Amino acid sequence: MGQTTRLWAVLAGLFSIVAAHDVANQKVDQLAAALKDTNGQIETTDNGVQVNTSNSLRAGPRGYNLLEDTTVRKKMIHFDRERAPERVVHALGHGAYGTFSSYGDFSNLTTACWLRDGAVSEVFTRFSVVVASVGGSESGRDTHGFATKIYSECGNQDFVGNHLSSFFINDGADFPDLIHAVKYEADKGFPTGGTAHRTAYDFFGQHPEGAFQLMNVLSDLGIPRDVRHISGNGVHTFRFINVEGKSTLFKWFLLPKLGHRSLAYDEVTKIAGKNNNFQRVDLYNNIAAGIYPEWEFAVQLFPDDGSYMWNGYDLLIPTVIVPFEKNPPVKLGKLTLNRNFNNFFAEPESISFAPSNVVDGVSFVPDPLLQWRLMSYDDTATHRHGSPNGFTLPINRPIAPVNNNYRDGYMQPYIFEGNSTSTPNDIGGVQEPGANAALHYTSAGERAGAGPVGRYVAQYDWFGQARLFWNTLDNYAQQHTVDAYRFELGNVGNADVVQRYIDNTLDKIDTCLARRVAYGIGATMPPANTTASRSTMQRRSNSSQAEFPSLYPLGMGLEPNKSNEGLQVALVANDTLGTEAEVQAMMSLLSAQKVSLTLVAPRIGMLKTGVTANASFITTSDVFFDAIFIGSSIISNGTNSAGLDTDPYNFVMEVYGHGKAIGALGTSGSAILNGLGVGGEAGVYSGSAMDVTVGVLDALAGPVRFPQRFTTDDVEAICGAA
């Protein structure tokens, strides 16, 4: 290669990096152009005439409204149609903007431009829950959606995943049935936000392939603290294609740099009542405070030999997961969420994701669940927007040029020039891309598509996969999962459906699990068969002994030294509890870790101690805090044994009951803790403000919760000796 051409190549390379960077700004500029600022403007009708629309036009001060009051009528007509249909699933959601940065040049794998060296693309990510409708609680136990749209220079690339790695069904044909079964009972209209009911467990009982996923949802993974502490999972296998047409199969993940955190189930139910928007508030406020959550985009790679099998794992069955220990994911890039949206309806509500939105270099496999998704999302978006032109909305518009012969349709925003509306054409219309634009790929002999036409049901050891997860859980995590099954099945209200699920699903996974669930809800316990359960009963201390610890990222000790960024702690204070000096001492340590402190007292404002409370036991609740502190007592008022009045007492004891860290400051600290009967317990600290704050921060970064406080079953009594 000559001197000059090499120089040109380097320049071209440099230019592409510069272009990539600008790509991110291009979307920001495109969105900025769509912003409409009506603040301070004179009110007008929709035809631009300034008018008062706050008072009806009437025949005299006490007369009838006039039909010719077109102003208010138009206002009313628009208002009556402001609600667009909510999503049929994942209706309850929120999101934020950010960037996707590639960690290097991955053109060996794919021609996708968002994985080029130095490529930075703007993104929008929407988080959601599957079952609840708009207005429900985001913290509810459910599968959480994690959908990201990358506005790359070669087109929009959507990754529409969930926070859990598997799914409930293998064939999209069953999806409407799944959703009908988990949503409210048609003849009652309830429950509207969960699966603890008859039709759901009748369905789950018929679909053992979903047993692993359901157990994930019923473990503490199903009740994440917030969306900054969940991972994204593509579930399906996808295909990378590089410029030579080489196909490599992959499963994608978004791994949270902050690690995983969950709530306690009792907290979930209380947060649902006290602030059903807890998760969107957490994301919004953290981004507003400059605390930007990040995830690493990682892929498990599988050679494409045309069989869609890898080491015995069937890559065409979406419910089958490949443990990270077997195929460690490779990190290719980073997602950072760093900008809140301007308008909820125009952005998180109107965005339309579709797994079919891929750029050249990314493609699909013949997975019957994925295949139906390639149809459904575009279809439902057209319904939701009441128009096939939803892709022209600012939030859905790519930065890459869109030129095609889509014409007309409701709310078509463009005035297309010229008369050519077909391709191919020789009259100067839209031209076909060159032959090599077609997405050709070679895989070592595509065999999966071969065989007689028919309706097939995938076969796999469903119960084995669920047992693998059950055996990964430590005994506290198992207890929480047993309690969740008891809550769900205990509310089904149909003994046959319950017993069938226990006998035909849980007993096949683990007899001891089935017996414990049955025991708790008064159902018939399957006969004990200690042989099968011996392994579980022995493996009860912690999950690190498990074969695939990655299956349960909340496992004790799996994510040590987690960042505490964006967590919230409270200091319980009143006119005799808490000093300004200890508040200052705590603040220096807490702000260094970007942990926010709220001072909670019987009233908001300046207390006799000189401390200013910014919340009260009425305006907030202990369930919103990850740990709490009790201010040092400047006098002991002896109002009750612990020296705490009812509200602070309940506040502290509920935190204790949820297994969270508690710190009592100053010399009075240990007396107050002993008074509460929790002195010396794990996760309970007393001493100087500095020492206690360090202790609590280490607890938040380490064990986070102290499950030793929770009651657990007498497993041997229920399941027989180990």
Q: Is 313 in the site for ligand HDE (CB under 6 A)?
A: no
Strands 684-687 and 661-665: parallel
Q: Is residue 184 a known part of a binding site? A: no
* 191 backbone dihedrals φ, ψ, rounded to 5°: -75, 150
Q: Is 227 in the site for ligand HDE (CB under 6 A)?
A: no
Number of chain positions touching ligand HDE (CB under 6 A): 25
- Residues from 380 through 399 that contact ligand HDE (CB under 6 A): 380-381
- Residues from 232 through 261 that contact ligand HDE (CB under 6 A): 235
Among 19, 28, 88, 400, contact with ligand HDE (rule: CB under 6 A): 88
- Per-residue CA distances from 143 to 162, 216, 341, 381 (Å): 7, 9, 24, 21
Q: Is 87 in the site for ligand HDE (CB under 6 A)?
A: yes
Q: Is 128 in the site for ligand HDE (CB under 6 A)?
A: yes
Cα 317 to the center of its chain, rounded Å: 23
Give the CA count within 13 Å in the CB-facing half-sphere of 268. 23
Which residue, 109 or 369, has its beta carbon nearer to ligand HDE?
369
Give the CA count within 13 Å in the CB-facing half-sphere of 227. 32
**Minimum CB–partner distance for residue 95 and ligand HDE (Å):** 7
497-505: long-range contacts, CB 8 A cutoff, minimum separation 24: 497/198, 497/201, 497/202, 497/205, 498/201, 498/523, 499/523, 499/524, 500/205, 501/201, 501/204, 501/205, 502/526, 504/205, 504/208, 505/204, 505/205, 505/208, 505/211, 505/463
**Minimum CB–partner distance for residue 173 and ligand HDE (Å):** 8
- Amino acid sitting at position 349: E
Helix%, strand%, coil% for the chain, nearest 5: 35, 15, 50
Q: By C-alpha distance, which of 169, 174, 258, 163 is closest to 219?
A: 163
Whether the link from the prior residue into 191 is cis, omega within 30° of 0, is yes
Q: Among the candidate windows 63-71, 97-105, 371-379, 590-598, which touches ligand HDE by CB under 6 A?
A: 371-379
Q: Which residues are catalytic?
A: 90, 162
Q: Is 229 in the site for ligand HDE (CB under 6 A)?
A: no
Among 99, 102, 156, 162, contact with ligand HDE (rule: CB under 6 A): 162
Question: CA end-to-end span of the chain, whole Å?
Answer: 72
Q: Is 320 in the site for ligand HDE (CB under 6 A)?
A: no
Residue 189 class from Cβ within 10 Å (0-12 exposed, 13-18 middle, 19+ buried)?
exposed
Rg of the chain over all Cα atoms, to the nearest angstrom: 29
Q: Is 98 in the site for ligand HDE (CB under 6 A)?
A: no
Among 27, 71, 90, 96, contact with ligand HDE (rule: CB under 6 A): 90
Among 270, 373, 385, 515, contact with ligand HDE (rule: CB under 6 A): 373
Q: Is 359 in the site for ligand HDE (CB under 6 A)?
A: no
d(CA 94, CA 138) in angstroms, rounded, equals 9
Q: Among the candidate windows 30-38, 98-106, 155-163, 633-641, which touches ligand HDE by CB under 6 A?
A: 155-163
Among 365, 369, 590, 715, contact with ligand HDE (rule: CB under 6 A): 369
Contact 692, 659 (CB under 8 A): no
* 94 backbone dihedrals φ, ψ, rounded to 5°: -155, 175
Q: Among the candidate windows 56-64, 88-96, 116-124, 507-515, which touches ligand HDE by CB under 6 A?
A: 88-96
d(CA 19, CA 14) in angstroms, rounded, equals 9
Q: Is 352 in the site for ligand HDE (CB under 6 A)?
A: yes
- Amino acid sitting at position 433: P
d(CA 719, CA 596) in angstroms, rounded, equals 45
Contact 668, 662 (CB under 8 A): no
- Residues from 552 through 571 that contact ligand HDE (CB under 6 A): none
Q: Is 207 in the site for ligand HDE (CB under 6 A)?
A: no
**Minimum CB–partner distance for residue 179 and ligand HDE (Å):** 8
Q: Is 170 in the site for ligand HDE (CB under 6 A)?
A: no
Q: Is 183 in the site for ligand HDE (CB under 6 A)?
A: no
Among 110, 376, 389, 479, contact with ligand HDE (rule: CB under 6 A): 376
Q: Among the candidate windows 157-165, 187-195, 496-504, 571-579, which touches ligand HDE by CB under 6 A?
A: 157-165
**Minimum CB–partner distance for residue 441 and ligand HDE (Å):** 22
- Amino acid sitting at position 486: R
Which residue, 194 or 210, has its beta carbon nearer to ligand HDE?
210
x/- string (CB under 6 A) for ligand HDE, residues 260-289?
------------------------------
Q: Is 299 in the site for ligand HDE (CB under 6 A)?
A: no
Which residue, 372 or 710, has its beta carbon nearer to ligand HDE?
372
Q: Among the candidate windows 83-91, 287-295, 423-431, 544-552, which touches ligand HDE by CB under 6 A?
A: 83-91
* 387 backbone dihedrals φ, ψ, rounded to 5°: -165, 150
Which residue, 99 or 162, has its beta carbon nearer to ligand HDE?
162
Residue in the structure block whose two tokens are 């047992």: 467
- Interface positions with ligand HDE (CB under 6 A): 87-90, 93, 126, 128, 145, 147, 160-162, 167, 172, 175, 235, 352-353, 369, 372-373, 376-377, 380-381
Binding residues for heme: 377
Binding residues: 377
